[in-house]
Structure 1
Amino acid sequence: MVRFCTKMFRILACIAGLAMAFTLAPSAAMAQQFAFTISTNNTPLDSAALEALSKEVLRRMGRELEIVRLPSERSLVSANLGEVDGEGLRIAGLSQKYPNLVQIPEKYIAIQFVAFARDKTIVLDKGWDSLRPYRVAFIHGWKMFEANAMGARIVNKVDEPEQMLRMLENGRIDLALYTLADGQALVRKMGLTGIVPLSPPLRDVDMYLYLHKKHEPLVAQWTQTLRQLKADGSYDRILSSVQRP
């Protein structure tokens, strides 16, 4: 009798396990179906802001977020081809060059683009034209600098920000072009006490998210949800949580 009960218990346990598996399988498939992939090559602080804000937007829209990290140019191309669902954060107006991308019209964050230097006496009071006498470096695929900094005396494109800060430290360039907040954080992390951001900034820029055109029906809802985050205080709370000034 005990052996029979044990056998029946095992059979019932097996049936229960199979039932649970079939119950969970649709949920897993549903989660995969509703996952929204966003590609980025932003700096650490900007990436954190992108991820945190997009995660909350998508949560309110009943979807999940997956972040994909790719080199800058590849990230845009991948989004334009529809290999990922969205791409950011980027300056406005990129839809002209990447026609399959639709810009979310509501600003995500604002970024200060600056030049870092060892020589604190360098004056950049004429904006982009101030770069002409200097050797500069910036990250390959950063459209802001590709559009405005190519008139410098020597232009170096690098893959990682650490590269150009080392080049600056070793005297191989005069200016490293980057974002203010992340640049200051990286300078501290690398212990480069002689490198400082120059003032004024080269440009203050609003940054946006782009969706592949197949998701154009979501643009209005995404925009409205992002505005709700700003209106109910969630936006400021989220940015504070990722330590973005």
Structure 2
Amino acid sequence: MTCRQLLFALLLLMPGAKAHQALPLDTESPEAAKPLVIATSLTRSSLMINIEQQLRVAYRKLGYQISLAQLPSGRSLSMTNAGMYDGELFRIEAVGAEFPNLLKVPVPLARIELKAFTLAARPLTGDWQHERKLRIGMVRGFRLAMDYPVSGQVVLVTSAQQAVQMLLQDRIDVLLDDEATIRAVLGPEFSRLQMAPEALASAELFHFIHRKHQDLLKPLSDALRQLK
């Protein structure tokens, strides 16, 4: 043993001396975070951004970093339920009954309102919900719209962008969706449409995770509550 090694050994034996320990993992560092892929819809609205920010902060506290996969709404649910994605960014509570592998994180993240849109020159009048001749467009997988009772011909589409184009091209008469999504699609051209003033329905929005991550349910709920 060299003199230098002997001196180091003696220092370790002194009271209060201890060997170097690794620093605890920084769970809020992107390099240390474990990745999760969360499915969401194709339209990046203000509502989506708000919920995404809440979830990014909550997951970061638990040592996870999320990335988003934007998919058609109906396909997104089926693929996440099959375990191809780690969760759904947000859905209404009723989704859990139809897709048993999706577990609701029981902290409301926002509230969504279903609205009816028409061309600005053709506002809705009277009891339009019972008018059989109307063609009523909605996005497949948007449960709040699909569960709303109407007598007209329901036209299911893949995305809000497609639904808006069909309305502008006079291929549907009414579009059922939420205001934030339609504003995100049209931007400054939102004035081309007429939005009925009253909400047709409303519901709280929740984050859903796949059953394989059920151990995250409680800590993620706690992290989200701390943000309120």
CA contact (8 A) 1:124 1:198 kept: no
The answer to whether 1:198 aligns with 2:196 is yes
Distance 1:130 1:90, change over 3 A: farther
| Counterpart for residue 224 of structure 2 | 226
Q: Equivalent residue of 1:205, what SS?
A: strand
Specify the code of the residue in structure 1 equivalent to 2:39: S
| Equivalent-residue separation in structure 2 for 1:148 and 1:39 (angstroms) | 24
Relative distance call for 1:130 and 1:33 in structure 2 (3 A) is same
Shift in Å, 1:182:
2.5
For the pair 1:122 / 2:124, whether they are aligned, the reply is: yes
Secondary structure of 2:106's counterpart equals coil
Per the alignment, residue 140 of structure 1 pairs with 140
- Corresponding residue number in structure 1 for 2:170: 171
For 2:59 and 2:131, locate their aligned partners in 1 and report how far apart those are by CA, in whole Å: 41
Judging by fraction of residues, say which structure has more helix.
1
CA 1:125 to 1:185, structure 2 compared with 1: closer, same or farther past 3 Å?
Answer: farther
Contact 1:38 1:85 in 2 (8 A): yes
Per-residue Cα deviation, 1:133-181 (whole angstroms, up to 9, x for no partner) = 52111112222222225x4321212223232223222322211111112
How many Å separate the matches in 2 of 1:224 and 1:145?
31
Matches within 5 A, 1:92-107: 92-107=93-108
By how many angstroms is 1:78 displaced?
1.6
- Measured against aligned partners, the alpha-carbon deviations of 1:87-140 in whole angstroms (never above 9, x if no partner) come to 1311103222111111011111111110111255424779xx456552111112
Aligned residue in 2 for 1:27 = none
What amino acid maps onto 2:144 in structure 1?
M
Does the Cα contact within 8 Å between 1:124 and 1:200 map onto a contact in 2? no
- Mapped to 2, the partners of 1:222 and 1:125 lie a distance apart of 44
1:108 counterpart SS class? strand
Gap change, CA 1:181 and 1:155, over 3 Å in 2 = same
Once residues 124 and 166 of structure 1 are traced to their aligned partners in structure 2, the CA distance between those partners, rounded to angstroms, is 25
Q: Provide closer, same or farther for how the CA distance between residues 162 and 203 of structure 1 changes in structure 2, counting only shifts above 3 A.
A: same
TM-score, length of structure 1 as denominator length: 0.71
Does 1:77 pair with 2:75?
no
Q: Does 1:181 align with 2:180?
A: yes
Q: Which amino acid aligns with 2:211?
A: K
RMSD: 2.6
Distance 1:204 1:131, change over 3 A: farther
Note the residue ranges of structure 2 that are not aligned, 5 or more in a row: 1-29
Quote the Cα distance in structure 2 between the aligned partners of 1:123 and 1:86. Answer: 40
After superposition, the Cα gap between the structure-2 partners of 1:69 and 1:204, relative to the gap in structure 1 and judged at 3 Å, is same
User: Counting strand residues as a fraction of each chain, which structure ranks higher?
Assistant: 2
What CA distance in whole angstroms lies between the structure 2 residues aligned with 1:132 and 1:223? 44
| CA 1:84–1:48: 2 relative to 1, 3 Å | same
Cα 1:122–1:164 shift into 2, 3 Å: same
Q: What is the alpha-carbon distance in structure 2 between the residues aligned to residue 154 and residue 220 of structure 1? A: 43
In the other structure, the counterpart of 1:14 is none
8 Å CA contact retained: 1:72, 1:140: yes
Say yes or no: does 1:156 pair with 2:155. yes
Change (3 A) 1:148 1:71: same
